[in-house]
Amino acid sequence: MSIQWWQILILTLYAGYQVIDEIQFWSSLNTPIFGGLLTGLVMGDMKTGLVIGGSMQLMVLGIGTFGGASKLDANSGTILATAFSVATGMDATQAVSTLAVPVASLMIYMDILGRFTNTFFAHRIDAEVEKMNYKGIERYFVAGILPWSLSRMIPVFLALAFGGGLVAKVVAYLNGPLKWLGDGMSTAGAVLPAVGFAILLRYLPLKKHVSYLFLGFVITALLTTLFGNIQAIGTAVGSVVKNFSGSFNGLSMLAIALIGLALALINYSHASAMIESKGAAAVATAVDAKGEIEDDEL
Amino acid sequence: MTNYKLTDQDFRQINLRCLCGFELGWNYERMQGSGYLYTILPQLRKIYGDNTPELKEMMRVHTQFFNTSNFFNTIITGIDLALEEEQGVKAKDAVVGMKAGLMGSFAAIGDSIFGALLPAIFGAIAATLAIKGNPLGLVIWFIAQMGVILFRWKQLPWAYKEGVNLVTKMANKLSAVTDSASLMGIFMVGALVATMVNVKFAWAPTIGSVPLNIQNNLDMIMPRMVPAIIVGLVYWLLGKKGMTSTKAIFLVLILSVLFSALGVLAKG
């Protein structure tokens, strides 16, 4: 199955939109999950898109744009991996590590190029400020949309339009003579979320709240084993007993999140009570901090 | 003292420009500098009047280097405009100092709350459901982000009215909120480690003629131990000098392929 022109068109337009959403609205339509969902729908296989998008989301949970540093473009990776996974019948987890991750990291260079190109517009704006040309200032500022969007749209378009043959060959190899590599890539796809979690822990105050890491892990590990075993029993019983109508769902992550929320709320009431009692002191330090910054300025 | 007072319509215009365009001009030289000018350009023109030397001076000031969290930047804008409206071009030094003083701290808080914590909590829920083929988690995340946009919309008039007081008040509230949200984030990471890293030991050596099922033995000690160990190792790896997240991702990718090929690990 090859990718149709209208599919290429929608996906290219989305690639341009998602980066603007990322730097402006942050509406969650910029996340790999939505990228996967949309690409999946466009390609006619929502499930594959959600699996690839979800895996990429977990991998980049803690990777934000800190101080304007370029980061992995997980979304462009998800678009291409989903499109080719559906088009060539590649296994979804395998597509994460063979396509999504390499694409996401190569796209870092396009991000740098886009941000670099914008420097040109910044100088045009300086010139317009001197001329007091308000329309000119605004025109060159809004033109910044071009480097941002095109830096994503061009590579995504080229890959979708011309990359199919190459990807099909890779898939044939991974399922044929290089099966060990294909299986390895699937395993890697399953391990990659672990990197996302570790990165996230590096950004969170782990030392202070390490007990909650254990709590979250142990509660979930025990319950997920329990639920998994009950499901297995349910299926087994269902295949033997005729009138068996029980249905067993897996562990609900939302329920686990609510336990976490409860713990966070308890902590919040303690923390705000502490701050209230130390109110005066806190204000004093805040003012101090400000004074310090102003000294720096002088 | 200038003659112009900002109206609700001005706030709406600034917010709209900020939400749709603040970072379009982001560049390596002065980052959000031109974006800062773009968001308040119509208001500067009203305060100083078109084609005045004061306007040119302040436009030059506002294209200088600026970079902060785009979730908090209008707080700085609000305080700035209150000052400029009151004192005109005389407020220049105070405005420059205030912008430089606040942008760093807001960048740090904004990145940790909106860049790490919210994705950790909502992204985790959405991704877990997505992998099972259910897009509902994304809807929850979308609603949460609409709340964030509302918060970004409201902070400009607050900051304009309350000035620097707001920063002190918010600093107190935010530290309690951030602390509790990080707690929940860490809890969620624990839960994710237990569910979302689906690999197991495939290596089953035979001692004499008895095959040793390592995975089953590990499960008896503590279920989901392999994922926990892997996350622990990567965490340790990330603390090494010169290690970046991209390097770590590729290192893990290569090692996973290697261990899978050797038959030690398998997708579970």
Q: Is B267 helix (H, G, I), strand (E, B) or coil?
A: strand
Closest residue in A to B255 (Cα) is: A188
Res. B115: pLDDT tops 90: no
SS (HEC) of A2-47: CCCHHHHHHHHHHHHHHHHHHHCCCCCCCCHHHHHHHHHHHHCCHH
Could you tell me the two tokens for A87?
């088009």
Pick from A18, A13, A155: which is nearest to A75 by CA?
A: A18
Contact between A53 and B134 (Cβ < 8 Å): no
Q: Which of residues 147-186 of B touch A (CB under 8 A)?
A: 148-149, 164, 167-168, 171-173, 175-177, 179-186
- Beta bridge partner(s), residue B31: B27, B66
Taking the Cβ of residue B235 and every Cβ of chain A, the question of whether any pair is shorter than 8 Å is answered with yes
A228 vs A250: CA distance, rounded Å: 7
Least confident of A95-104, A223-232, A275-284, B116-125: A275-284
Looking at per-residue pLDDT, the higher value among A100 and A172 belongs to A100
Q: Half-sphere exposure of A103 toward its Cβ, with a 13 Å CA cutoff?
A: 26
Res. B114: pLDDT tops 60: yes
Res. A285: pLDDT tops 80: no
Q: Where are the domains of chain A?
A: 5-202, 209-297
**Under an 8 A CB cutoff, do B267 and A190 touch?**
yes
Percent of chain B surpassing pLDDT 70: 99
Residue A71's pLDDT is what? 84
C-beta atoms surrounding B263 within 10 Å: 13
Distances (CA, A) of B142 to A79, A277, B128, B135: 19, 37, 16, 11
Categorize the per-residue pLDDT at A67 as very low, low, confident or very high, splitting at 50, 70 and 90: low
pLDDT by residue (tens digit) across A177-187?
A: 888 898 899 89
Res. A297: pLDDT tops 50: no
Report phi then psi at A131, rounded to 5.
-85, -5
Taking contacts as CB-CB distances below 8 angstroms, the residues of chain A near B21 are 24, 141-142
Could you tell me the two tokens for A287?
């003012």
Residue identified by tokens 């040119």 is B56
Taking contacts as CB-CB distances below 8 angstroms, the residues of chain A near B260 are 180, 183-184, 186-188
B contact test, residue of A145, A151, A195 with most B CBs within 10 A: A195
Residue A294's pLDDT is what? 36
**Under an 8 A CB cutoff, do B120 and A204 touch?**
yes
**Under an 8 A CB cutoff, do A137 and B38 touch?**
yes
Residue B213's pLDDT is what? 80
Burial code (b: 16+ CB inside 10 Å, e: under 16) for A246-266 equals eeeeebebeebbebbbebbee
Mean pLDDT in residue range B175-189: 89
Handedness of CA A256, A260, A265, A266 (dihedral sign): positive
Taking the Cβ of residue B17 and every Cβ of chain A, the question of whether any pair is shorter than 8 Å is answered with no
Res. B93: pLDDT tops 80: yes
Taking contacts as CB-CB distances below 8 angstroms, the residues of chain B near A267 are 179-180, 183
Res. B185: pLDDT tops 70: yes
pLDDT by residue (tens digit) across B135-178?
A: 999 999 999 999 999 999 999 999 999 887 888 778 778 888 88
Handedness of CA B51, B56, B62, B63 (dihedral sign): positive
Categorize the per-residue pLDDT at A279 as very low, low, confident or very high, splitting at 50, 70 and 90: low
Least confident of A138-152, A253-267, B206-220, B236-250: B206-220
Mean pLDDT in residue range B43-61: 94
Residue A287's pLDDT is what? 42
Categorize the per-residue pLDDT at A64 as very low, low, confident or very high, splitting at 50, 70 and 90: low
Mean pLDDT in residue range A192-199: 91
Mean pLDDT in residue range A194-210: 90
Categorize the per-residue pLDDT at A296 as very low, low, confident or very high, splitting at 50, 70 and 90: very low
